[in-house]
Amino acid sequence: MSTSIFKRVNSGWLTTAFATTTAVFVGVQSLLLAVLQGPWVTFHPHGSLLWIIPVIIIIATSLVASAGLLYGAVRIYRRVCAAEAKAADEIYHDLLSSRETQRLHRARMHEVTSTLAGVRSASELLRSCETLDPERRVAMLTMMGSELRRLERLVRAQRGGADTLPVDVGVIDVDAVIHNLALAHEAGGAKIDRTPSNALAIGSSDAAAQIINILLDNAAKHGAGAVGVEVRHEAGVSGQMVVIEVSDDGAGVAPAVRDRMFDWGVRGPDSAGQGIGLNEARTVAERMGGSLRLADTERTTFVVTLPSAVIQEKKEGAPDDAVAA
């Protein structure tokens, strides 16, 4: 890298300066020596003085030439150091960008794999279960279509090279999102207990689906018994929030990783996962203006908060009324 940087800072300048200074210095010395060797200096009554003056000039010329070369070398050194620092900074930022791109790609592939697993389970259930009632069959087909469209949008974003997953602001029908995901996981053998809430949130339905899908997937893989999903409205610091709790009766989070469980790549000692899902779920939730945390409860409970599409309107002499935003 040093060779290329020397070229960038025009290292030829130092060579030219050195050659020019040397030529001038040698020329001045040669001229003075020629003068000193002349007969008029030798037989001059003040010949000794005439010798001293040229010697002083030669010494001064040498010092000036050395100082010039030293100054040029220092300038070149500083420019090289600055160029090296700039190149190192560019490489560092390129590595960071590459790392973030790789992380985003892995997060998307994690969601793609999970979504495809749900669609595949539903497809196999529809093909093999002849006793499935018509209403359930229609619900499964509707879910498959919805999930495949979400998958298409996810893949399109990946092909487009977007730095982050899109979070389009809109009204999220939380019950509809949970309903589709519950059907997908139930097709794979999980049991999901949920109650309609009529909750509406603000943000991207795809992003909300990604968060809830990760939590349902974790509960189904690492939990035990039925997975509970509860939704409610709750007052937050910045306004009304939709609170979604996903819980199970599993062994819980290992104490060794509890404080770092939302960090990238962190997973429990008995987990076969990649340590991607929870980190991505929290990142997406926070980008939507919400949060994700582990509740301190007997059951393993993850709590998601999203901005609510319902506001509290206070009327004088009347109780608080919830109205759609």
**Residue 2, pLDDT score:** 45
Structure tokens at 114: 């999970």
pLDDT at 38: 57
**What pLDDT is stored for residue 315 in this prediction?**
41
Q: What number of other Cβ atoms are within 10 A of residue 109's Cβ?
A: 14
- Count of C-beta atoms within a 10 Å radius of residue 215: 26
Q: What is the mean pLDDT of the chain?
A: 76
Residue 180: per-residue pLDDT: 92
| Alpha-carbon distances of 198 from 148, 173, 222, 254, 324, rounded to whole Å | 24, 8, 29, 35, 11
* pLDDT at res. 101: 67
As a whole number of angstroms, the distance between CA 79 and CA 77 comes to 5
| pLDDT value, residue 286 | 92
Q: What is the pTM of this model?
A: 0.64
Ranges of each domain in the chain: 2-97, 167-315
Supply the pLDDT for residue 313.
44
pLDDT per residue rounded down to tens, the chain (325 residues): 444 544 444 555 556 666 666 666 666 666 666 655 555 555 555 555 555 666 677 677 777 777 777 777 788 788 888 888 888 888 877 777 666 666 666 777 777 888 888 888 888 888 887 777 888 889 889 989 988 888 888 887 766 555 555 556 789 999 999 999 999 988 888 899 998 899 999 999 999 999 999 999 888 887 777 899 999 988 877 778 999 999 988 777 777 777 788 887 676 656 656 678 888 899 999 999 999 999 888 788 999 999 998 764 444 444 444 445 5
Given this model, what pLDDT does residue 3 score?
A: 47
| CA distances, 266 to each of 106, 194, 204, 211, 253 (Å) | 14, 29, 27, 17, 12
* Superfamily of domain covering 167-315: Histidine kinase-like ATPase, C-terminal domain (3.30.565.10)
Q: How far, in Å, are 135, 171, 284 from residue 154 at the CA level?
A: 29, 19, 14
